[in-house]
Amino acid sequence: MGCLVSTPKDTNGNRRRPSNIGEVSVFVPGLRIPKPVDFSQSLGDHISKSSVERFSALRTRIVVMAGQEGPTITRTRRKSATQHGGSTLGDLLLALEDYLPVLLGLVKNGSPLQHKVQFVWVNQEDETEETEMFSAWYEILSVLHLMAMLALSQANLLLLPRTSIDGYQPKLSEENRRSSVDVFLKAAGYLDCAVRHVLPQFPNELRRNLPVDLSEGVLRALCLQALGQGVDIQLGLAIDSAKATLAVKRRLACEMVKYWQQAQDNIMNLPLTNGWGEKHSLFVKWKHIEAKAAAYYYHGLILDEGNTEKSHGMAVAALQAADEYLKESKKAAEAFNASAPVSRNTPFWGTMKYLSEKIPKDTSSKVRINKDLYTYEKIMETAPTLPDFALALKPDDYQLPLADASWNDEEANTSAKV
């Protein structure tokens, strides 16, 4: 069994949270940072010196890179997004991918080596500053979480509008938008793997004592918000396409509501009260409200195509609901940005740029046209129920790699030495 030790008080010395993270398209709740481990002391009597040295080198590389980039990686600027950010994220992700097969050797065939090393990580969303465990599965879970956060950071960089050549409104290329969907699915794949294949390896007591950053609720919420933002991009692309029908747009918007609703359900009862955690909750709340505005708007337009008084009345109610949710989403965005660390929205683009203009205009138009036919009481009736669609976007099918081949040579010696 693994042993857990936590540092209860946050001195801010290890977390080094930024006070301002700049423009945010994709929320990343900080990066959990690994702390150094002495493998020679914990594994020196059980595996070869060359394996210990390789283990140390791979993890030290991650400790150094994450320690340097972690505190700044969320403070995105357009300059870093276009010139330097991608390579930094890519290098750290490659380092993690190189490390993971070697790390998995510690749990191969239920090896007792999985309990020999005390791994230490600095938390971000949990009130506890850092968590230490004699558990290789804790290290694997932490690595997958960090890989997912790096992918979300990459998506954020892709979705920061760049200043156009003509110097006018910053623009976001269709190529970047499409690429971001693939990155969202990759992030969701890491998190889905963590929930389905890694968390079940923990004894119940140890699992209950994981930091909130690695709780099942937060992992599921992050996975769902990655999928929700992927659908948001798809909806924006559909809005720009002359071939996309209202039915297609409504389906995407309604699916987006379900993803964000499920994300909110997963974290609403978790103790996300400090720093990144509180901001995370506000982000999910904001995006859920924003998705409702889009869904009720397109539902209202389709209802308005009906030829009955009832359908027109329901259309007006849906459009007014969309207008109210749009107003509410702006307040939710302000609350998110004002929460520490402070942030700001990117210039309007995609789905919300279009809807922020269309929803008030179309709602006002429908109410004016139908004002003699429908009373105020009828217009303000409960909005019609949104249609329920099956969720189409799924996480990438990421699977843990096989243990590094070097462990085949170690297995014969391990049983005799443990």
- 351-385 per-position pLDDT tens digit: 888 888 898 888 887 766 555 555 445 544 568 89
What architecture does CATH give domain 215-387? Answer: Alpha Horseshoe (1.25)
Say yes or no: do domains 1-161+172-214+399-418 and 215-387 share a fold.
Answer: yes
Could you tell me which of 63, 293, 24, 51 has the C-alpha nearest to residue 159?
A: 24
Angle among Cα 299, 305, 306 to the nearest 5 degrees reads 105
- What does DSSP assign to residue 127? S
- What does DSSP assign to residue 380? T
Q: Which two tokens stand for residue 179?
A: 């690429």
The per-residue pLDDT for 84 is 39
Per the CB < 8 A criterion, the answer to whether 412 and 240 are in contact is no
Torsion of CA 4, 10, 13, 15, to 10 degrees: 70
Residue ranges, the chain, pLDDT below 50 = 1-2, 5-13, 77-86, 375-376, 379-380, 416-418
The per-residue pLDDT for 412 is 54
Domain ranges for the chain, please list them.
Answer: 1-161+172-214+399-418, 215-387
pLDDT in tens, 58-105: 999 999 999 887 666 555 544 344 343 345 788 999 999 999 999 999
Per the CB < 8 A criterion, the answer to whether 379 and 316 are in contact is yes
List Cβ neighbours of 23 (8 Å cut-off, separation of 6 or more).
76, 77, 78, 160, 343, 344, 345, 346
Per the CB < 8 A criterion, the answer to whether 279 and 339 are in contact is yes
What architecture does CATH give domain 1-161+172-214+399-418? Answer: Alpha Horseshoe (1.25)
Angle among Cα 279, 282, 286 to the nearest 5 degrees reads 140
pLDDT in tens, 146-185: 999 999 999 999 998 776 665 566 678 889 999 999 999 9
Q: Exposed e or buried b for every residue in 118-134, given b needs 16+ CB within 10 A? A: bbbbbbbbbbbbbbbbb
Hey, which bits of 106-161 come out as E strands?
Answer: 119-122, 130-133
The per-residue pLDDT for 52 is 94
d(CA 274, CA 279): 8
The per-residue pLDDT for 21 is 81
Residue 134 is which amino acid? F
